[in-house]
Structure formats: C-alpha cells, structure tokens
Amino acid sequence: MSYSSKYRTHHCNELGSEHIGQNVRLSGWVNSSRNLGGLVFIDLRDREGITQLFIDPETSPQLAAKAREIREEWVLAVAGTVRPRPQEMVNSSRKTGAIELELSELEILNRAKAMPYHLEDPSSSEDLRLKYRYLDMRRSGLLENLKLRHKISKVIREVLDENGFIEVETPILSKSTPEGARDYLVPSRVHQGSFYALPQAPQQYKQLLMVGGVEKYFQFARCFRDEDLRADRQPEFTQVDLEMSFVEPEQVMDIVEQLLCAVVKNIKQINVPCPFPRLSWKEAMHKYGSDKPDLRFALELQDISGIFKHSQFKAFSAALEQGGLIKALKAEGQAQKCSRKVLDQFTETARLYGAKGLVWLKVEADMSLSGSAAKFISPEEQRELLEQLQARGGDLILIVADAWKTACESLGRVRLQLAEFAGLINQNEINFLWVQEFPLLDWDEESQRFVAVHHPFTSPLDEDLQLLQSKPAEVRAKAYDVVLNGVELGGGSIRIHRPELQAQMFKSLGISDQEAKLLFGHILEAFSYGAPPHGGLAIGLDRLVMLLAGAKSIREVIAFPKTTKASCLMSNSPSAVSPAQLEELGLSLETEEGLSDQILDTKSH
RNA sequence: GGGGUUGUAGCGCAAUUGGUUAGAGCAUCGCCCUGUCACGGCGAAGGCUGCGGGUUCGAGUCCCGUCAAUCCCGCCA
C-alpha cells in the first residue's frame, strides 16, 4: 500500500531497522510529547500505530523551540531521517521501537484544545465518550471494533455474492403497519396529515423482490424500532437481511450456516461444527427454559412433576392442581459454594421472571436433603428425586413449581445465573444452534386476540395447517432462529405465498378483510400475480460483531450509538424544530414545553 | 410504565456517627530538566458537591421530588 503524498511517505507503524538512513515523511496526531529541556521526544500516532520523533536542540534549535509548545492531539506533518535508537533505549513493546525519526521539518497542521477527558483511560464515563465519540475513536478499542465490523461485513458480502445473491436497497421511507414494534414516523409535507414509517425490517419489500423474480436477495438493512432500549438494542440497528425463492427451511439454514462459519473462520480462525445442532422450540424450552438456549454448558432442566403427584407441600401441589408442573435443575457439587446469599439471588431471579419462588435443596454426604423445603418432602419423594436426578452428595437442586411457561423460563434464567456463578461457561467457545418449530400464534391478553409470534407472513408447518381454525395455539411455524452463545442472532421463516392462506392467517389474527386490504393490499395483490414459494432470514449484524468482539454492549460496535433514552449525546438529537418547519408539515404541538422548546430553537429557514 | 446502580474540580476519585476553610492525583498554566517512552522536579490556578425542595444549630453526607447516564422487567412481529 502506497501512502505517498505531500503529508506522508509511510504510516506510523511501518518504519523499522530496514529503513535506517531513509528520509521519510509522517503525519498524525501527537500521542504524547516528552520535553527533557534539551532533548524532545514526540510520539506521533496515526490509524496504524505510533512512531517516536526526536529533536536535538543542538542541531535544530528552531525545531526544538517550535516543539516546546506542542500539546497532546495536535496534528503534525514531519519529515526526517530514520535512525536507530541507542541499544538500551529500544522499546520492545512497540513495533517501531527500534528506531526513531530525527526531524528536519516540523509543520503544525492543526492545534487542539485540551482533551475533555483522558482518551486512553478505560474508566472514563460512557456519556463523555459518547459526547466526544470522534475522540473516543482515536485511542480506545472502538476503531478496532469498527475494523472488525468492516471485515465481517466483507466476508458476508463475499459469501452471499459467491452464492448468487444480489444486493438490493429498499426504501427507508416506508409504510406504517400494525403488528410488531412501534414505528418511527416521518410526517409528509406534500401529503399533510400522512406519515411514512421507517422500516422495522425490509420484510415486505424483500418478499416483493421475490415476486419480482430476484430469487436471491440480500441487504445490509438499517432497521428502526421505537421501543425501550437495552445493552443489545438500539433504536436503529443493522440486519443482514436475505430472502430466497423456491426454498424450504433447509436451504435458508444452509446458506446462513455457510455464512456464519465463514465469518468465524475468518475472524477467529475457528472451524465451527456445521451443520449447527437443531432443537425444536418446545425442546429448548423444556430442557433449557429458553427459546435461545446457551449450550456452552449442559445443566438441563428436568420435569419432576411425577414424583410429587401426592405432595403435601402446598407450593408443589397447588402448581400441579392448576395444570402447571415442577421443574428441577441439578448443579453438581455446588451445594458448598452456594451461600445463602447466592441462593437468595437465584430466588430473586426466579421471581423476576414470574415464579412464585425457588426451592433449593442441598444433598448432604449421607444423601439426606437439607434446605428451604426439605421438611415438606417425604422420604419416598426424596428417594425418587435423588434417583431421577442421579444426584450425589454435595449437589445442589433448584426447583420451580409453576405454570409451564413460567416454570421453564424462570428456572432457565436461574440456569444461566448458576452457570456464570459456577464458572461453567467457556468464554472462548463459539456455540451456534438452530431453534425451530416455533408456535405460529400467541394469545395476547392485552388485546384479547392472537398475535403472530414471528410476523403475519410466516407459513405454518404443512402438517399443522388443519389446526389453524380449530387449535390456533398449537400450530407450529416454518420459522427458525439462529442462536449464538445464548443470544438470538437472527431469525427467519418460510413465508406464505398463496393469497388464500394469507387471508386465513389475517383472519386468525383478527384482521378483517377490509383492514388487510388497507394495510397490506399491495402485498396481497402482488401475491395474486404468481408469487413463488420463498423464505429468508435476518441476522443482527450489531450483535454478531459484539459477540465476536467480546463487547458487552452493541454501542461498542456502532460508530455513533444512542443512549438508552434514544438520544445522541454528540449531536443532541432529537431536538426541537422551528415553528416554520412544523407549519410546513401541518403539525402543531400540544404541550407547553414543546412550544417553549420551539422558541428556544435557533434554526431559521 | 416499573425496579436497581451512579452523579463531588476539565477527568477518574477521596472526604470518619451529619461538624471548622470539600482534598490529593492526572490534565491545564508558569518555571527547571540531554535518552524519554504514562519522563521527572518546583509552583499556580481550578468547586452552585446534577438540579429543586425539606429535616437540622449545622447537609457532599439524612428525607422527598426531579434530571441524566447505565443495568434489568414490561415492551422489542
């Protein structure tokens, strides 16, 4: 790579002993400067690395005088001769540590104010780093994460290109639809009172591309959802979105496996086993209490309802009477390590996810049980319990008795917490799996109707079709999620391509023909002109990069992320707009705060 | 919408049961320094303790509210 320009002939991580004697030019930022009164050392930094500059006041008094005023993060262009450092002054921790550049020219390209915080201090607060994101990039690991993201994107593009996928962009100004997340709305000036919505996903467009005969589509799609945020959720995020025609789940899963294997191979030099293991949703819930189980460790949940059919323990009998069940988790050899305090934390977790409580039992050396509810468990039940769980002295048993979903999910969360506490998780492992056969519909108490678990275009499993009218809750979908280390990385489905079935689906969702026409008319019409069978999937790129970067939050892999209240600390968005702008859009604000904000706003048109 | 944590100098922190004038380090500014690499030495300046109430003779410290950041629940097809 040639860097030659008036600013530089090399970058700052390039020069070594082989360049000694050469005249070179470098540009970059002052990482630090050390003025010893006589000798002056400056560490010059660019994207690639750091080179030490050297000025001897005896040979270059003017340069030394100029260098005296130089401060951190000033921008310099320099020229000089590469020379070896004295033997004992070699800095072996730096690639360019064997040499230094003795300056003959020094140009100050730009000065810099004192930094608002110490750029290399990892403990500096995140809001400052967000406010000065452009400074954060200079020295924290952020730039490395952006490079990693670029590399991952490149591999994904290559694999999809090699497999005949065509990258197509779809509109950002899109149409609001019910179902799913809250939309970000964009008011229309030309059509006052009407709004675009920013896409939650390019779902409908990509299906229309299939109707259009594209057959294999992909896109790095920016998606927008106006919901409350988390460490792994931003209001706008990127999906690797893909869709294929004339396929069944197998073909979609196959290409995604190829894609993810290539990424991991390229980034981590690890060959992950392919194809990925597959679990049905029901199995995942039963065994691991999660629809995105972390399989880096075993710890399977067990159904122990059978043992307690005639239990005298009210917590157990009540759950069973109400049609629930009793699930247990056995932690080998953890009885000693788990103090009362730790067990209380587990209990709190179980409660947080809806369980009424958590029963813990310690298996003593003599195989007797001790713990919160041991006295309510008969000797016969104790014997059966130990036998079913194959428990040994020193084991810890955690039990939740509740409705099926609550019991599974709450104990599933305890399972994760326990694994972390007991150090069962190998942080270097990359563990992919598929979860399939999700339910198609879910009863929503709030709206008193069925809602689509995935989205309303998801096809039911062929063998469950006949249940759609009679037992909608039991219909499984041709949907699949790819899970990495307990994180939902992506999901997709085979879509409904026949208008009759789509109409039936809308009916199940309580969407009238009229509504369907109004909201989805264009896609229904498109399907009436010969839609091919099709399906696809979307991968959360931010989450993928986060996991491979070992980052704790997707903010660390996004150049300019927003806070948990969806504001940008750097640009101060969102912000008020001028009355003139509102007027053009035919909008007026209701709140007084809104009005006063407008008056404060200085933007003029 | 709900719960937890945090908020003291530009930055990261300290300040005893509520008790004099809120401290030292880094950064900044000034002076000194010829082999540093987080250079070092001497000195100076720097504060509405997030904001608003309250309790008290007295509040950085206790109470209530509020704002912001963050983590989680709900929510996120």
Give, in Å, how far the C1' of B58 lies from the CA of A117. 36
Q: Which helix (H) or strand (E) holds A384?
A: helix A379-389
- CA-to-CA distance for A524 and A530, rounded, in angstroms? 11
pLDDT beyond 70 at A593: no
Contact A24, A87 (CB under 8 A): no
pLDDT beyond 50 at A603: no
What percent of chain A lies above the pLDDT cut of 90? 83
* CA torsion, ordered A495, A497, A499, A505, to nearest 10 deg: -20
Contact A284, A290 (CB under 8 A): yes
pLDDT beyond 90 at A589: no
Segment A5-24 shows an average pLDDT of 95
- CA-to-CA distance for A413 and A492, rounded, in angstroms? 25
Q: In this predicted structure, which of A316-330, A425-439, A509-523, A550-564 has the lowest mean pLDDT?
A: A509-523
Sign of CA dihedral A587, A588, A593, A597: positive
- CA-to-CA distance for A363 and A374, rounded, in angstroms? 10
Segment A367-376 shows an average pLDDT of 90
Comparing A592 with A300, the larger pLDDT belongs to A300
- CA-to-CA distance for A235 and A568, rounded, in angstroms? 11
Instruction: State the nucleotide closest to A223 in CA–C1' terms.
Output: B76
For A256, the token pair is: 């995604």
Instruction: State the nucleotide closest to A36 in CA–C1' terms.
Output: B33
Residue with minimal CA–C1' distance to B73 is A352
pLDDT beyond 90 at A390: yes
pLDDT beyond 60 at A602: no
Give, in Å, how far the C1' of B72 lies from the CA of A336. 28
Backbone dihedral region for residue A600 (phi beyond 0: left; psi -120 to 50: alpha; all else: beta):
alpha
- CA-to-CA distance for A496 and A480, rounded, in angstroms? 15
Give, in Å, how far the C1' of B8 lies from the CA of A257. 52
The confidence score (pLDDT) of residue A213 equals: 97
Give, in Å, how far the C1' of B17 lies from the CA of A324. 52
- CA-to-CA distance for A167 and A242, rounded, in angstroms? 9
pLDDT digits (tens, 9 = 90+) for A398-408: 999 999 999 99
pLDDT beyond 60 at A592: no
Q: Supply the mean pLDDT for chain A.
A: 92
Confidence of residue A3 (pLDDT cuts 50, 70, 90): low
Residue A170 vs residues A211, A555, A570: alpha-carbon distances, Å: 15, 25, 28
pLDDT digits (tens, 9 = 90+) for A510-541: 888 888 888 888 889 999 999 999 999 999 99
Give, in Å, how far the C1' of B38 lies from the CA of A64. 22
ipTM higher than the 0.85 cut: yes
Instruction: State the nucleotide closest to A93 in CA–C1' terms.
Output: B37
Segment A351-373 shows an average pLDDT of 93
pLDDT beyond 90 at A590: no
Give, in Å, how far the C1' of B10 lies from the CA of A52. 28
Phi and psi torsions of A435, nearest 5°? -115, 125
pLDDT beyond 50 at A242: yes
CA atoms within 13 Å, Cβ hemisphere of A314: 1
Beta strands, E only, A180-315: 185-187, 195-197, 216-224, 236-245, 278-280, 301-303
Nucleotides of B under 7 A from a protein CB: 1, 10-13, 26-29, 32-40, 68-77
Q: Which helix (H) or strand (E) holds A326?
A: strand A325-331
Residue with minimal CA–C1' distance to B31 is A37
- Residue where the block lists tokens 């053009």: A584
Closest CA to A559 of A129, A267, A260, A233: A129
The confidence score (pLDDT) of residue A152 equals: 98
pLDDT digits (tens, 9 = 90+) for A271-299: 999 999 999 999 999 999 999 999 999 99
For A436, the token pair is: 């399939």
Q: Which residues contact A39 (CB under 8 A, 6 or more apart)?
A: A54, A55, A56, A57
Segment A319-337 shows an average pLDDT of 94
pLDDT digits (tens, 9 = 90+) for A411-467: 999 999 999 999 999 999 999 999 999 999 998 877 888 999 999 999 999 999 999
User: How is chain A split among helix, strand and coil, in percent rounded to 5?
Assistant: 35, 25, 40
pLDDT beyond 50 at A83: yes
Confidence of residue A325 (pLDDT cuts 50, 70, 90): very high
Give, in Å, how far the C1' of B53 lies from the CA of A556. 39
pLDDT beyond 80 at A340: yes
Helix intervals (H) in A311-370? 314-321, 340-352
pTM of the model: 0.93
The confidence score (pLDDT) of residue A2 equals: 55
For A516, the token pair is: 């369907």
Instruction: State the nucleotide closest to A126 in CA–C1' terms.
Output: B69
Taking the mean position of all CA atoms in its chain, how far away is CA A337? 32
pLDDT digits (tens, 9 = 90+) for A56-73: 988 899 999 999 889 999
Q: Which residues contact A340 (CB under 8 A, 6 or more apart)?
A: none
Residue A489 vs residues A240, A283, A494: alpha-carbon distances, Å: 10, 19, 18
- CA-to-CA distance for A550 and A478, rounded, in angstroms? 32
The confidence score (pLDDT) of residue A599 equals: 38
Q: Which helix (H) or strand (E) holds A99?
A: strand A99-110
Closest CA to A249 of A212, A275, A211, A285: A275
For the beta carbon of residue A189, count every other beta carbon within 10 angstroms. Answer: 11
